[in-house]
């Protein structure tokens, strides 16, 4: 074999090794790229799955804690229960000193509203009011009036055995105005009625009044207004009769003179 053929054979071997190396490097790079791409896809999938789980958890969180309706209870203790979409209690707020004391003593968080109301009506202090001639006012409010009406109907059924319990509903606007005044919506309604008769009375004045005291004051002012109206009518009527008598007297006197 000539030297030229030997060199040519060795060159061919080196060329094959170079191709093998290039091929090996190419395949390694492709595997690395695909592996990296697969890792990115998996990471993205994991992130999306985690976000979905968090979304569900967050949705459940807001469903459990977001208030959508409220029930206010007024005697002298004035307090408000806020309910979530499942009609469970998510907050208890006292609106006066007695109401705050009652709110602090209750263990009704995440109870259904009926169980929570039972716990309130069975409270010793509320029981004393119910045993007397005081009245308990329960007011339902919220944005969904149909749902509020259903709550009201159910509450009326639960409290039907208590003759001193009065149930009603209020609009979301009334509830908002009540909170601005620092009152439960039930007491706020009484306050508005009282203020129409006594413009000087403030929400602060009546915050610690019992509902009975507010009603008595309203009736007292209404009775006073009726008495004043009757007095004015009597005075107006007396003047009219006096004019008639005077006129009749003048006529009679004229007759005498003519006679």
Contact indicator for 67, 86 with CB cutoff of 8 Å: no
The per-residue pLDDT for 159 is 84
Say yes or no: 70 and 175 in one domain. Answer: yes
Say yes or no: 29 and 86 in one domain. Answer: no
User: How far apart, in whole angstroms, are the C-alpha atoms of residue 44 and residue 63?
Assistant: 28
Query: Residue 253's Cα: distance from chain center in Å?
Result: 76
**81-129 confidence digits (pLDDT tens):** 999 999 999 999 999 999 999 999 999 999 999 999 999 989 988 888 8
Say yes or no: 185 and 76 in one domain. Answer: yes
**Per the domain annotation, does 119 fall within a domain?**
yes
Say yes or no: 88 and 152 in one domain. Answer: yes
State how far the alpha carbon of 190 is from the alpha carbons of 97, 157, 162, 184, 215, in Å: 19, 24, 21, 10, 7
Say yes or no: 28 and 84 in one domain. Answer: no
Handedness of CA 196, 199, 202, 205 (dihedral sign): negative
**215-251 confidence digits (pLDDT tens):** 999 999 999 876 665 555 555 554 333 233 434 444 4
Q: Is the confidence at residue 25, as pLDDT, over 80?
A: no
Q: Is the confidence at residue 3, as pLDDT, over 80?
A: no
Say yes or no: 87 and 40 in one domain. Answer: no
SS3 97: helix
The per-residue pLDDT for 71 is 97
**166-201 confidence digits (pLDDT tens):** 999 999 899 999 999 999 999 999 999 999 999 999
Which among 165, 190, 215 is the end of a domain?
A: 190
The per-residue pLDDT for 43 is 56
**30-85 confidence digits (pLDDT tens):** 556 555 555 544 555 555 555 544 544 555 556 678 999 999 999 989 999 999 99
**Per the domain annotation, does 95 fall within a domain?**
yes
Contact indicator for 136, 126 with CB cutoff of 8 Å: yes
Handedness of CA 24, 26, 29, 31 (dihedral sign): negative
**131-154 confidence digits (pLDDT tens):** 877 889 999 999 999 999 999 999
State how far the alpha carbon of 221 is from the alpha carbons of 205, 214, 250, in Å: 16, 11, 43
Say yes or no: 5 and 88 in one domain. Answer: no
Contact indicator for 183, 95 with CB cutoff of 8 Å: yes
**Domain limits for position 72:** 66-190
Which among 171, 190, 209 is the end of a domain?
A: 190
The per-residue pLDDT for 160 is 81
SS3 248: helix
Q: Is the confidence at residue 155, as pLDDT, over 90?
A: yes
The per-residue pLDDT for 62 is 63
């Amino acid at each position: 074999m000539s030297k030229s053929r030997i060199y040519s054979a060795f060159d061919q071997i080196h060329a094959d090794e170079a191709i093998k190396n290039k091929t090996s490097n190419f395949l390694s790079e492709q595997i690395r790229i695909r592996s990296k791409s697969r890792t990115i896809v998996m990471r993205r999938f994991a992130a999306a799955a985690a976000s979905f789980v968090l979304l569900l958890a967050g949705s459940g969180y807001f469903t459990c804690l977001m208030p959508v309706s409220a029930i206010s209870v007024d005697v002298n203790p004035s307090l408000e229960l806020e309910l979530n979409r499942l009609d469970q209690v998510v907050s208890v707020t006292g609106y006066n000193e007695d109401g705050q004391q009652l709110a602090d003593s209750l263990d009704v968080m995440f109870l259904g509203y009926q169980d929570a109301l039972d716990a309130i009506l069975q409270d010793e202090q509320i029981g004393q009011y119910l045993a007397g001639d005081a009245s308990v006012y329960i007011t339902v409010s919220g944005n969904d009036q149909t749902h509020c009406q259903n709550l009201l109907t159910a509450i009326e059924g639960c409290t039907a055995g208590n003759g001193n319990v009065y149930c009603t509903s209020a609009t979301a606007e009334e509830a908002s105005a009540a909170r601005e005044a620092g009152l439960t919506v039930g007491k706020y309604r009484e306050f508005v009625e009282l203020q129409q008769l006594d413009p000087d009375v403030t929400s602060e004045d009546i915050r610690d009044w019992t509902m009975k005291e507010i009603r008595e004051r309203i009736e007292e002012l209404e009775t006073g207004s009726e008495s004043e109206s009757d007095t004015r009518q009597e005075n107006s009527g007396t003047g009219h009769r006096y004019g008639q008598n005077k006129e009749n007297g003048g006529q009679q006197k004229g007759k005498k003179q003519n006679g």
